Amino acid sequence: MASPEPSPRRYGVGYALAPKKQQSFIQPSLVSLAASRGIDLVPIDPFLPLSSQGPFDVIIHKLSSPDWKSQLQEFAVENPNTPVIDLPDAIERLRNRISMLQAVSDLRIPQKDETFGTPKQIVIYDSDSLSDPASIETLKFPVIAKPLVADGSAKSHKMSLVFHPEGLLLLKPPIVLQEFVNHGGVIFKVYVVGDFVKCVKRKSLPDVSEEILEHSEGSVSFSQVSNLGGAQDQDFETTHLEDAEMPPLDFITDIARGLRKALELHLFNFDVIRDAKIGNHYLVIDINYFPGYAKMPDYEKVLTDFFWTLVHERRAVDADEKKKIASINHGAVEGEKVNVG
């Protein structure tokens, strides 16, 4: 009687996400597709030791508490061949809006027909500096005021479009003041999942003409750059999103891969705008860790492909380790034979 075929091995991808993030990301469609390829998405309880859960072939997460960070570091030491996506120290760089964009400034990518950079910006650490003209003299208004800390909280997304210096006085430092650049009311969101890069276009703040700037006072609040928020009552210029030309994919991909290497991250997106005055110049204005991938077309396939690559890369590493151990053991046996002889 023939022995039954061994069942194919299944792989566990553990996920540790806040409830809201888990609800948006772990969709039944993703769970089902991953399962069909032998990958089980397994929830991790961050309040229990990782050693008592699993086993895991990969861990993905978007938590930032000190206890969780300590758990991950201990797990990485005990399981050096198990990918942790991504390491806390690398993610930390994106929690500061100055350090995140410094990575863009440091990129050394050939720039030909298209060029890129970041908007001019400064950090304000105290309220007194907001009323000091010398502190902001390098900036041209209007400016975008953003919290310095970008931790994914609702507070970190509260931003303002400030038309004149007096509009700064009600803001609460520490904040980043970033020059607003007219960009046709369109923002390009670039999603990165390992080697995969996808660029989509979204509605953004409309351009601000000199006339609007002259007749506007104070500031306008909005929750995200791609959400008009409180600005809808302003007499802004409008644009047609469908008519906006996408940036060249190879150009965007070069930036994405450069940032992936510089940031040492696998899961992130970055926001890009096209300078309305210089049609081939693009500005990276924000970078986010583990963004809302469910908004990306075919996200289930993209993420499942990513998981599949990770678990099979780990399988290859494990196979190499077994070969090395077998080789060492074989060498030891041969040595004993020689000594006996």
DSSP 64-86: --HHHHHHHHHHHHH-TTS-EES
Tell me if 172 is assigned to a ligand binding site: no
Determine the pLDDT at residue 232.
Answer: 42
Strand partners, 281: 115
Tell me if 117 is assigned to a ligand binding site: no
Query: Is 93 within 8 Å of 100 (Cβ atoms)?
Result: yes
Of the candidates 125, 121, 122, the one whose C-alpha atom is nearest the C-alpha of residue 174 is 125
DSSP 185: T
Strands of the 58-62 sheet, one edge to the other: 39-43, 11-17, 58-62, 84-85
Tell me if 187 is assigned to a ligand binding site: yes
Tell me if 181 is assigned to a ligand binding site: yes
Tell me if 292 is assigned to a ligand binding site: yes
Q: Which pTM does this prediction carry? A: 0.86
Element (DSSP H or E) covering residue 118: none
Tell me if 330 is assigned to a ligand binding site: no
Of the candidates 105, 106, 108, the one whose C-alpha atom is nearest the C-alpha of residue 117 is 105
Tell me if 288 is assigned to a ligand binding site: yes
Tell me if 5 is assigned to a ligand binding site: no
Tell me if 155 is assigned to a ligand binding site: no
Tell me if 37 is assigned to a ligand binding site: no
Other beta carbons within 10 angstroms of residue 330's beta carbon come to: 10
Tell me if 295 is assigned to a ligand binding site: no
Instruction: Locate all alpha helices (DSSP H) within the chain, ordered by sequence.
Output: 19-25, 28-36, 66-78, 88-92, 97-105, 127-130, 133-136, 210-215, 249-263, 299-340
Calpha distance 133→124 (Å, rounded): 12
Tell me if 271 is assigned to a ligand binding site: yes
Tell me if 131 is assigned to a ligand binding site: no
Tell me if 20 is assigned to a ligand binding site: no
30 vs 35, 88, 223, 303, CA distance in Å? 8, 25, 28, 8
Tell me if 230 is assigned to a ligand binding site: no
Tell me if 301 is assigned to a ligand binding site: no
Q: What is the pLDDT along the chain (341 residues), one digit of tens a residue?
A: 454 555 588 999 999 999 999 999 999 999 999 999 999 999 999 999 998 998 999 999 999 899 999 999 999 999 999 999 999 999 999 999 999 999 999 999 888 899 999 999 999 999 999 989 899 999 999 999 999 999 878 788 889 999 999 999 989 999 999 999 999 999 999 999 999 999 999 999 889 989 888 888 878 877 544 444 344 444 444 457 888 999 999 999 999 999 999 999 999 999 999 999 999 999 999 999 999 999 999 999 999 999 999 999 876 655 444 444 344 444 444 455 545 55
Other beta carbons within 10 angstroms of residue 16's beta carbon come to: 20
Tell me if 274 is assigned to a ligand binding site: no
User: Is 13 exposed, middle or buried (CB count within 10 Å of its CB: 0-12, 13-18, 19+)?
Assistant: buried
Tell me if 62 is assigned to a ligand binding site: yes
147 vs 20, 88, 337, CA distance in Å? 22, 21, 70
Tell me if 157 is assigned to a ligand binding site: yes
Tell me if 69 is assigned to a ligand binding site: no
How many residues are present in the chain? 341
